[in-house]
Amino acid sequence: MRYMLLMLGQETAEPEPAHGDDEEPCWMPWAREMKERGVILMDGAQLQDASTVSNVRLNGAEVLVADGPFAETKEQILGYDVIECKDLAEAIFAASRHPVALDGGVVEVRPILASVS
């Protein structure tokens, strides 16, 4: 089954420092551990700062666009991963081992609906 892991946390004022060619990203050990457990990392990315958010709503036929995050909260969506694993228990384990969770953030786990063909 596929799950989306949404990474929630406080955005830092400073962007994460660039890694040299000899340093790996902080999530790479997690990805290796999950692969060894049979969890497949299908996709994932860090998102740009919440100040780049555009919220789109419809008012009849009128398109309304608002800048910035919709909710006034300290925690923002920082990124996402899409994983495939055997069940919810394994997805929760994967989330509990993710660097965002280990660094005090929250990882929201959501099952992805099966696509219809």
pLDDT in tens, 6-38: 999 887 755 454 455 568 888 999 999 999 999
Q: pTM, whole model, 2 decimals?
A: 0.80
What is the pLDDT at residue 67? Answer: 82
pLDDT value of position 73: 65
Please give the Cα distance from 43 to 69 (Å, whole number). 23
Which tens digit of pLDDT belongs to each residue from 74-106? 778 899 999 999 999 999 999 999 999 999 899
The mean pLDDT of 31-56, rounded to a whole number, is: 92
- pLDDT confidence of residue 22: 65
Domain chopping of the chain, boundaries: 2-10+27-111
Give the CATH number of domain 2-10+27-111; options: 3.30.70.1060, 3.90.76.10, 3.30.43.10, 3.40.50.300. Answer: 3.30.70.1060
Contact 105, 7 (CB under 8 A): yes
- Going by C-alpha positions, the residue among 117, 74, 109, 107 that lies closest to residue 91 is 109
Give me the phi and psi of 64, to 5 degrees please: -105, 130
Please report the pLDDT score of residue 38 as a whole number: 96
- Segment 40-66 shows an average pLDDT of 90
* pLDDT at residue number 16: 52
Q: Which of 39, 57, 46 is nearest to 16 (CA)?
A: 46
What confidence score (pLDDT) does residue 21 get? 58
Residues 96, 104: Cα–Cα separation, whole Å: 11
